[in-house]
Amino acid sequence: MKHQFKYISKLMFLVSLLLPSVGIVSCSDDHDKFVPEGPVELSVTRDGANVDALDFGTYGGSVLVTLKTNAYWDITVPEGADWLVLSNRSGDPTQGMPEKTDEPRYIKLTAQPLGKDDATRTCQVTFRAADVVKTITVTQKQPSAADESGWESAYVANRNMAVGINLYNTLDAVGDWFDPDDIVACETCWGQPLATQEWFDAVAAAGFKGVRVPVTWWLHMDENWVVKEPWINRVEEVVNYALNAGLYCILNVHHDTGQDGWLCADLANIDPISKKFESLWTQIANRFNKYGEKLLFEGYNEMLDGANSWVEPVAGGYEAVNILAQKFVDTVRATGGNNAHRNLIVNTYGGGGSQTRFDNFVIPNDKIGGHLLVQVHNYSPSAFSNLNGEIDDDKLPVWTPEFENILAKELDVMIEFSNKYSIPVVIGECAAYEKIADEEKAKYGEFITTYSKGKADVSVFYWGNMIDRTTYKTMYPLLVKGFLKGA
């Protein structure tokens, strides 16, 4: 065994002398690592674009960057920056190395959440390939609580709203069996009573922080697209109910979008649609300009393409939504006054929260930073919300870990989007089938409102009965209690 060991040692020594000549990486020192004969190349990109800085925001999270180089490489992080973790610190060339197929290396940078009392923290991450160096500035900072005028920022408004409820099937209701100029008939045509101050007071007393007020406008516009005075007067009266109760109020354009609506993501007809949309929002913005920061505007509801597709839109559908989202922001800002600072909400195509919807959505440019929110709707799991009418009333479901997993995956997509772009997300609609046992709905309510806490700025608004519209009593006490855990 002794002679055999000597023989193996000599063999390994001879092999080690040959290794540098074939470009194999040695970990001993830089002289043993692969360097090309020509120029050293190094690029670090994110989503195909060169990256020089990363801002993780309050909640941190993970970012993938793509490293390409034809030399050995390593990454260093300054001492004390233990809040930033890298998946890889060194490695072989990703291209140009003999007998190696070109393939980029994906580096995951993960920032820990920033504590509420922590100030901005930053560090320089150094990427080195042989003698070529590239640095990326990584920053994590608390969002501004207010702009230079003192107007509340979008992230503060979203945290303050936290959990809310919709005034549903009321000002948004439509039909062809009544005179649209009859305000009472229009407001009650879908079976709901007239909105009252007492209901909003009861919503606030129960612990909710905001009310989303959906409004359909097209029934109340003349041939010149002018909103009739009685209707906008009634809308303003209801908005005041919410604000008088101390609630945040989200005012929107509702069933003007959706199936058979005029406001659609139709790129072929985008010019006339855009002009009518601009006219409508100019009127709304001017009427409500005097109101303070607790009133938010939502540009449109569940906008679909010209074919009313709830799945993938026809060609140009995503582009049309992005055009109209930008038109909404520009139109409101152009009215000046309080609207120059007002927090504005834009929605994805169809209000969907899938990865595809987010990937195809472009956050509008805004003249003022920190005053935009993105809204999606979530009725998952459908077997719990009865979105597709699939629940058997004789076999009502209970809340299960499987349901939690389904919903968690969708919420994770929202969380990642919110943190990637440092923008708050509003779940403007969600629901559980009303016939399900109260204690089971309560589990759902707690899960959807608390899952994102400490991970991203997400507020949640329920669509459905919670506070009775005539008695003002809590209809499902356990659901309300669970839902309010998110407050």
Hey, which residues are catalytic here?
Answer: 302, 429
Amino acid at position 316, single letter: G
Burial (Cβ within 10 Å: 0-12, 13-18, ≥19) of residue 426: buried
- Gap between the Cα atoms of 302 and 258, Å rounded: 6
**Number of other CB atoms surrounding residue 312 within 10 Å:** 14
210 in Cβ contact with 459 (< 8 Å)? yes
187 in Cβ contact with 173 (< 8 Å)? yes
Place of tokens 């927090």: 343
SS3 category, 150: coil
Q: Taking the mean position of all CA atoms in its chain, how far away is CA 436?
A: 29
Q: Taking the mean position of all CA atoms in its chain, how far away is CA 75?
A: 31
Closest Cα to residue 382, out of 433, 445, 429? 433
Tokens of 308: 């009313």
Compute the C-alpha angle 364/428/182, nearest 5°: 100
SS3 category, 299: coil
**Number of other CB atoms surrounding residue 183 within 10 Å:** 17
Strand order in the sheet with 49-50: 49-50, 42-46, 61-69, 105-111, 84-86
248 in Cβ contact with 211 (< 8 Å)? yes
CA atoms within 13 A on the CB side of 297: 28
Helices (H), 137-269: 154-161, 183-188, 197-206, 229-244
Q: From residue 353, how far is each of 15, 84, 319, 398 by CA, in Å? A: 56, 28, 17, 24
343 in Cβ contact with 371 (< 8 Å)? yes
Tokens of 80: 């004390």
